[in-house]
Amino acid sequence: MAPINLVYFAWVRERIGCAGETLALEQSPLPLGEVLDLLIARGGGYADALVPRTQVRLAVNQAYVEMDYLVHAGDEVAIFPPVTGG
Partner 1 sequence: MPAMRSPFSRLSRGASWVSVLQTWRIDVTQAPFDSAHEEQALRERAPGLGALASFLGIVRPEHEGLPLSALWLEHYPDMTQKQLEQLAMQASMRWPLLGGTLIHRYGRLAAGESIVLVQVAAQHRDSAFVATHFLMDWLKTKAPFWKQAELADGQRVWVQAKAQDDQAAKRWE
Contact (Cβ atoms closer than 8 angstroms) between residue 80 and residue 11 = no
9 DSSP β-pair partners? none
We find the least distance from the C-beta atom of residue 13 to partner 1, in angstroms, to be: 9
DSSP 8-state assignment for residue 55? G
* Total residues interacting with partner 1, rule: CB under 8 A: 17
Contact (CB, 8 A) for 26 and 4: no
Among 47, 59, 65, 73, binds partner 1 (CB under 8 A): 59
Q: Does 65 bind partner 1 (CB under 8 A)?
A: no
Residues that bind partner 1 (CB under 8 A): 7, 9-11, 59, 62-64, 76, 78, 80-86
